[in-house]
Homo-oligomer: A and B are copies of this chain.
Amino acid sequence: MKLTEAKQQFISSWGAFGSQWGINRTMAQIHALLMVSPDPLTQEDVMEQLNVSRGNVNMNMRDLISWGLVDRVLIPGERKEYFSAEKDTWKIATQIIQERKKRELDPMLKLLGQLEKIEGDKKDKNVKQFVDTVSGIRKFGNQAEKMLDMMVKADENWFLSGLMKLFK
């Protein structure tokens, strides 16, 4: 397989993969394109390579930046803006974990904590099942949160070798 074809496949699959995880296809594709591009690209470059509109690129690029996955890059002497993606997989992963945790997991755990304090007869099986379910999810979520924090703080090597050896 040639580079051009492989790139296409990678970009298209990364887009499809992303949609299954609630990331919009174009955003994932832009990310994929930037990850395999050795040099920074302009909005124009991305528009051409992915066949999407200026506005679309602009909005999704902004999102990618807010996720900390893409940086604006100034090239001395150039008027236009360039964009470049973080290429280190470990950093990408921890960045995504951190953001999703902050944006989604934390608020959910907060809500569950409130729902647990429901008033009602603990003898009522409806009340009991509700409290048990909610607190079960909350406990699990809290542990997951701790584990993710740990991952984010740790370094890649810990993940690649250290953790694994403990449970071979």
Question: Are B136 and A150 within 8 A (Cβ)?
Answer: no
Question: Are A146 and B164 within 8 A (Cβ)?
Answer: yes
A124 to B2, CA, bound (A): 13
Determine, out of A43-51, A57-65, A68-76, A82-90, the stretch whose residues face the partner at the interface.
A82-90
For A129, what are the chain B residues with a Cβ–Cβ distance below 8 Å? 36-38, 87
Q: How many residues of A contact B (CB 8 A)?
A: 57
Question: Are B159 and A88 within 8 A (Cβ)?
Answer: no
Does A52 interact with chain B (Cβ within 8 Å)?
Answer: no
Question: Are B115 and A1 within 8 A (Cβ)?
Answer: yes
For A111, what are the chain B residues with a Cβ–Cβ distance below 8 Å? 9, 13
Interface mask (A27-54 → B, CB under 8 Å = 1, otherwise 0) = 0000000011110000000000000000
From B119, B124, B132, contact of A87 by CB (8 A): B132
Please report whether the interface of chain A is mostly helix, strand, loop or mixed according to DSSP: helix
- Name A residues whose Cβ lies closer than 8 Å to a Cβ of B: 1-3, 6-7, 9-10, 13, 17, 19-22, 35-38, 87-90, 93, 104, 108, 111-112, 114-115, 117-120, 124-130, 132-134, 136-137, 139-140, 143, 146-147, 150, 154, 159-160, 163-164, 166-167
Subset of 30 A-B contacts with CB under 8 Å: A1-B114, A1-B115, A1-B117, A2-B118, A2-B120, A3-B118, A3-B120, A3-B127, A3-B130, A6-B115, A6-B130, A10-B112, A10-B130, A13-B108, A20-B22, A21-B22, A36-B133, A37-B126, A38-B125, A38-B126, A38-B128, A87-B133, A87-B136, A89-B136, A89-B139, A139-B160, A147-B163, A147-B164, A150-B167, A166-B166
